Amino acid sequence: MSKTTVNDVSAEPGPERAADAPRAVGGSRALAILLVITGAAGLLAAWVITIDKFKLLEAKVAGKSFTPGCSLNPVVSCGSVMESKQAAAFGFPNPMLGLVCYGIVICVGMSLLARARFPRWYWLTFNFGTLFGVAFCTWLQFQSLYRINALCLWCSLAWVATITMFWYVTSFNVRNGFLPSPGRLKSFFGEFTWVLPVLHVGIIGMLVLTRWWDFWTS
């Protein structure tokens, strides 16, 4: 993926900036589109889960039962995941956090499409946000596979979106020198960034297959 590096320019006339002044960098069009797509995918997943969560609560209040459309069998059971205590890790439904965070990702992507430029601290903050997202998704994956014993397809979509955006934002920061790293690592990220999200998602896929291997093969 290409990068665009542009010095920050003041709108007001005045002396030129010092040579060591922080630079503002805009991402490539490819990165911008990737952020918009992954943010939209995560936002869609969070939106559907939120709606189903409300329907589930309404059904409980009315003394009825509600089965989400993605509850296909005992393993692929969104309802079981939604009713677990892990589904409200911070005291409120997890997808509500996704509605905010994935919306921010879309905004960043759209800003880059409009040729916005951001300083180092902004990119590192954004990278930290995606790191938090991956860490939280990893915890949810463990809970889903080994504690709740059920899988949510919409959650899986959010996992893939979060993993993809994390690795590409990390790659961007490494290649631009915002994250200190050796030259070989920069070269690797410049050519093979796609390997990392594919490998990451592939490992999760293998864990899912091995966790319910008897069910898939029966």
Q: Within a domain: residue 85?
A: yes
CA distances from residue 18 to 3, 15, 117 in whole angstroms, order as listed: 23, 9, 18
Q: Is residue 74 part of a domain?
A: yes
Is residue 12 one of the residues assigned to a domain?
A: no
Whether 158 is in a domain gets the answer yes
Residue 109: count of CB within 10 angstroms of its CB: 22
The pLDDT of residue 94 is 94
pLDDT at 16: 44
Provide the number of structural domains found in the chain: 1
Residue 14 in any domain: the answer is: no
In a domain, 160, yes or no: yes
Say which residues have a Cβ less than 8 Å from residue 6's Cβ, sequence separation at least 6: 23, 24, 25, 26, 117
d(CA 170, CA 1): 12
Q: How high is the pLDDT of residue 2?
A: 44
Q: Which residues of the chain have pLDDT under 50?
A: 1-21
- Whether this prediction's pTM lies above 0.75 is answered by yes
Domain carrying residue 121:
25-210
Instruction: Identify the CA nearest to 106 among candidates 124, 126, 80.
Output: 126
| CA dist., res. 83 & res. 116, Å (int) | 41
29: CATH = 1.20.1440.130
pLDDT tens digit sequence for 66-120: 888 888 898 999 999 999 999 999 999 999 999 999 999 999 999 999 999 999 9
pLDDT (0 to 100) of residue 135: 98
Q: Is residue 141 part of a domain?
A: yes
Residue 49 has a CB neighbour count (10 Å cut-off) of 27
Say if 190 falls within a structural domain: yes
